[in-house]
Amino acid sequence: MATRKSSPGSKSVDELAEALNQSQLKNYLDAQPPEARKFLHALRDLIRAAARGATDSFGYGAPEIRMKGETLFRYQAMQRHVKLSPIPAAIDRTELKGLRATQDAIQLPYSKPLPDNTLKKLVKARIAELEK
What is the CATH classification number for the domain harbouring 53? 3.90.1150.200
Q: Is residue 13 part of a domain?
A: no
Asked, for residue 10, whether it belongs to a domain, the answer is no
pLDDT of 6 strictly over 80: no
| Residue 20 falls inside a structural domain | no
Whole-angstrom Cα Rg for the chain: 16
Asked if residue 89 is part of any domain, the answer here is yes
Terminal-to-terminal C-alpha distance of the chain: 21
How far CA 46 is from CA of 49, 87, 123, in Å, comes to 5, 16, 10
Domains contained in the chain, number = 1
Q: Count the helix, strand and coil residues of the chain and give each as a percent rounded to the nearest 5.
A: 40, 25, 35
CA distances from 77 to 20, 46, 90, 128 (A): 20, 16, 25, 26
Q: What is the pLDDT of residues 22-80, one digit of tens each?
A: 889 999 999 999 999 999 999 999 999 999 999 999 988 999 999 988 999 999 999 99
How far is the C-alpha of 25 from the C-alpha of 65, rounded, in Å?
Answer: 11
Average pLDDT, the chain: 89
- At 13, phi and psi to the nearest 5? -60, -40
**Residue range of the domain that includes 111:** 34-130
> Regarding beta strands 100-101 and 106-109, do their DSSP bridges make them parallel or antiparallel, or are they unpaired?
antiparallel
- The pTM (predicted TM-score) of the whole model is 0.85
Let me know if residue 63 belongs to a domain: yes
Specify if 6 maps to a domain. Answer: no
- What confidence tens digit (pLDDT) does each residue in 89-119 have? 988 888 888 889 988 899 999 999 888 999 9
